[in-house]
Amino acid sequence: MAKFSKIEVLQKAAEQGMMPLFYHADIELGKKVIEACYKGGARLLEFTNRGDFAHEVFGELNKFCRAELPEMIMGVGSINDAGTASLFMQLGANFIVSASFRADIAKVCNRRKVPYMPGCGTLTEIGNAEEMGCDIVKLFPGSVYGPGFIKAIKGPQPWTTIMPTGGVAPTVENLKGWFDAGAVCVGMGSKLISKEILKNRDFKQLENKTSAALQTIQAVRS
């Protein structure tokens, strides 16, 4: 079961303002990636369900976090059905993310009081997700919609909390655009955990990039 409560996860997402996300089949490499993000200050991370036996990899990484990185809140993304969500929750997933809104996922997450962050692209989808207990909705792909979409939504629905993912970069200009528009948090994948970093095993660079991104977020918010 989840180590962290729903309230703790949501508070950390809002506090940290960034959710690093990645997938790799190599468990030992995954441990190094998570450890580098942790050293850089991240306490929230999404493992994406994008390969064969991904649940086995996640299980080992989550055990590693509980033993060595006790403050790290691990969740899972790219979930497409309730059965898969249940499988990962059984392995201790602290939150579930999907590319689109799925009512069946919302129901199983609500039963376990695990946050569900679905991808939404219209006011109707956002409204349906919120009615099903989703506190944070994911704007995906963020690069298609842009910060203007969030700003427009926050006008009539100031209570809506949005996390753009896709097209988010760790630069002052990019992050300022999202947070000025009203984003509560941003999901950041390859722009943070790049193929080059993984290929070169340059975990110190990842630690530095994570730290710099978190500092930038705090600066643009203030």
Question: How many domains in the chain?
Answer: 1
> 133 in the Ramachandran plot: left (φ > 0), alpha (ψ -120 to 50) or beta?
left
DSSP secondary structure code for residue 190 in this structure: T
Main-chain phi, psi angles of 167, to 5 degrees: 90, 10
Q: What is the mean pLDDT of each run of 10 residues along the chain (222 residues)?
A: 97 98 97 98 98 97 98 98 98 98 98 98 96 97 94 95 96 97 97 96 98 98 92
Main-chain phi, psi angles of 96, to 5 degrees: -125, 135
Whole-number pLDDT of residue 23 = 97
| The pair of three-digit structure tokens given for residue 8, joined into one six-digit string | 């703790």
Q: What is the CATH number of the domain that holds 22?
A: 3.20.20.70
In a domain, 219, yes or no: no
In a domain, 167, yes or no: yes
- Residue ranges making up the domain that contains 142: 6-214
DSSP H helical ranges for the chain: 6-16, 27-39, 54-68, 82-90, 103-112, 123-131, 142-145, 147-154, 172-181, 195-200, 203-221
Whether residue 81 contacts residue 104, with contact meaning beta carbons closer than 8 Å, is answered with yes
pTM: 0.97
In a domain, 220, yes or no: no
DSSP H helical ranges for 69-112: 82-90, 103-112
Whether residue 5 contacts residue 179, with contact meaning beta carbons closer than 8 Å, is answered with no
